Structure 1
Amino acid sequence: MSLTLIPTRPGASTPRFAFLHAFGRHAGAVTGAFILLMVVIAALTADWLYPINPLRIVAMPEIWPFEQSRYPLGTDSLGRDIAAMLVHGSRATLMIGLSASLAATLIGVTVGATAAWFGGWADDLLMRLAELFQVIPNVVFVLTVVSVLGPEMINIIIAVGLISWPPIARLTRAEFLTFKDREFVLACRASGMSNTRTVVAEILPNVLPPVIVLASLVVAGAILYESVISFLGLGDPNLASWGRLVGEGRTLIRSSWYICAVPGFAIMLTVLALNLLGDGLNDALNPKLRER
């Protein structure tokens, strides 16, 4: 018995490097990944760069950026180092964004998979529940939950996670319905494989790529929600965050606009990087786009 070798297309990458090759061709995604890497490095090295409490008053109020070399980004209205608050704030902002996105993804995938797999009344009930959360004004819901539970990081994560899961649930349900009646799933059922193993081991890996893309966008939304909460004074008072810095500087926006501009630019840059990363992940994980 002879084996026939099928030649590969010249220049084609192996499956192992197909994702990296497709992701690397997306200039915006690479730029977004680089920006996020810088934010992550700042968060990880915050204690080394600025070992003192970032909320501590260290100098005169309203020192403008580059006016003194010791405070390259200036000081706020109380005399706190904006650079220290910005670096330490990246840790709180990323923690809230990633944790809220993870919570929303777990809830959304569970609800969407359950609704698609069982169908019937379970599908109707869970999708009506998702629609209920979607018609509630998001900002009002988040502010209400934080006001009731208290201005702590865990409560902000809970509030943002609860409002962010419906789109993930609907996407998961749609993807599950496309795979539910495929031949390999029917073969798993015919072989006696349990429902849990079929869902987790066979269907879920095929559903995850678009869910991962959406989850990266949920991180961006979570960062914006946290900024709104902190801007309105409902953030954790023991944490330095970018939204809090913007909120505390809004009363001085005419005389010392840099207090709002510096953290505002950091928020804009991070959210933009997450959106660029989401576009790149979509191109890299989508086989139809990867073949182009």
Structure 2
Amino acid sequence: MTILILGGNGQVGFELQRSLAPLGEVIAPDRRSLDLGDPAAVVRALDRWQPTRIVNAAAWTAVDAAENEREAAFRLNAELPAQLADYCASHGGQLIHYSSDYVYPGDGKQAWQETSATGPLSAYGESKLAGDEAVMASGAEALVFRTSWVYSARGGNFMKTMLRLAREREALNIVGDQIGAPTPARLIAEVTLLALRQSLPSGLYHLAPRGETSWHGFAQAIFRQARAAGEPLKVDPERVAAIPTSDYPTPATRPLNSRLALARLEQALGITLPGWESQLALTLAEWREINGSR
């Protein structure tokens, strides 16, 4: 079996390379060896490697920049998945694709179901939805995992930004009215491996930890757990103020409700997904090991 991982240098791609290695030969080209923005280059790569499974962790993730760079965002988030799905449909391969809570309208307080009506609030969300729809309409054997608030011990993400700021400042203002579940890249990769080993039926699934919090609550948990582990932080978790989204304007509108219902995936795999706080503890421990913290 030949597994082609796209976006292998990203947070999710790095974890996928580790998790999926036991399944077969893993090919994970970097940006220098494969320009995913060039459709012809992708065709040549697929013809060369002839993968039996394609795991697409590549994406345009600059949410605000997508408002002014729609063409580039749609190339990576919509056209590329469509191209990969068409290849799998015609060659009998399988595609695993990752999507986002940003495809939903972000209102209310109920967790979104896989069957919920979509309604992206941003160009980024529109591009991710277009990719999902192209994959699901292709006729290919495909798994589409929608996830939320991805972070890891590597790369650029909210957890690492908060840890940096916590060493510099005594107080912070963090958005407190956007609700979701912080999802470690490692969990995404582990569930992907389990899904492939159990031959999860093609379709759309939500993949995130159990529970919910705000960005403010996530920041406080990061600071409390890091302090308890011995990290020298200036910030007092109790001096982290919660502010409304309206006080932190951005070019792209963020969804206030990023809750994802998890029952479909849990029932299909026969598992109970872990809580977000225990996953934060594991990710913090890995971050401390990487950075030589004591």
TM-score normalized by structure 2? 0.27
TM-score normalized by structure 1? 0.27
Higher relative contact order, structure no. (Cα contacts within 8 Å, ≥ 6 residues apart):
1
Choose between structure 1 and 2: higher strand proportion.
2
For the pair shown, which has the larger CA radius of gyration, 1 or 2? 1
